[in-house]
Amino acid sequence: MAKELFYKTKEEIELIRESSLLVGKTLAEVAKLIKPGITTLSLDKVAEEFIRDNKALPAFKGYSGFPNTLCISVNSQVVHGIPSLYELKDGDIISVDCGVLKNKYFGDSAYTFTIGEVKLEVLNLLKVTKESLYIAIEKAVVGCRLGDVSEAVQAHAEKNGYSIVRELVGHGIGQALHESPEVPNYGKKGSGLKLQEGLVIAIEPMVNLGKKAIIQENDGWTIRTADNLASAHFEHTVAIGKEKADILSSFEEIEEVLNNK
């Protein structure tokens, strides 16, 4: 990852917002179809078609050789799951991570969905992971440091008895899908880069029900928990703000679909 930081103009932030909002709309299209019996590959095809219909490109497809539009990670898979003929089952959870490229700027967001009746302990993991994202976003303001964002995720997750994946991080985003700085989900308050206006980052807590250890599956992509317990993942693309962070992606359309199901 390049060390150089790219600060964005207001115009560039609006272009990133446009891409990020399209990600939310794409995930909402996926949300409409999520049910027991559907394959993760069929969700992927719908997402790709929707992105292309909106005059954008799937950012992940072909990225370092990744074969698909979505990363769909089931149950104990943390991230980078490859869509397949796996049929979703009652009680599953899936993290769906999506990126798009539109007007030369990237957007990136992820949401963890439930299928049917999910165990209470897993539902609570999802709730806390999503809360940790929003608590971290509160620190994405001028005057804070990157460590404040990272520590916010870690503190909320660990306070609730969960563990933080260490090897995978959030990232800067703009004309490249992954830019500096790296945004870990653990850290020390008051440490790291001083946050300034114009910096755009993807904050993405990856929180495990069990231990923090992860392993890579044989496909060379999929990361799962070493103890095979559930993992949750939520992500927003965020611009650093003076008074408060500007969330460029949105879960609104996704949750509207879920609430009306």
Alpha carbons 202 and 181: distance in angstroms, whole number? 10
Instruction: Give residue 2's pLDDT band: very low, low, confident or very high (50, 70, 90).
Output: very low
Query: Model confidence over 200-226: pLDDT tens digits?
Result: 999 999 999 999 999 999 999 999 999
Both tokens assigned to 21? 């909002």
φ and ψ of 179, to 5 deg: -120, 170
The three-state secondary structure class of 224 is: strand
Query: 181: cis peptide before it, omega within 30°?
Result: yes
Helix, strand and coil percent figures for the chain, each rounded to 5: 30, 25, 40
Nearest to 204, CA basis, from 151, 163, 173, 168: 168
Query: Once rounded to an integer, what is the mean pLDDT over residues 91-118?
Result: 98
Say what the pLDDT of residue 83 is: 98
Q: CA geometry: angle at 159 spanning 188 and 163, to 5°?
A: 75
Q: Does domain 10-259 have CATH number 3.90.230.10?
A: yes
Predicted structure pTM score: 0.97
Token code pair at residue 55: 């005059």
Domains of the chain, residue spans: 10-259
Mean pLDDT value of segment 159-178: 97
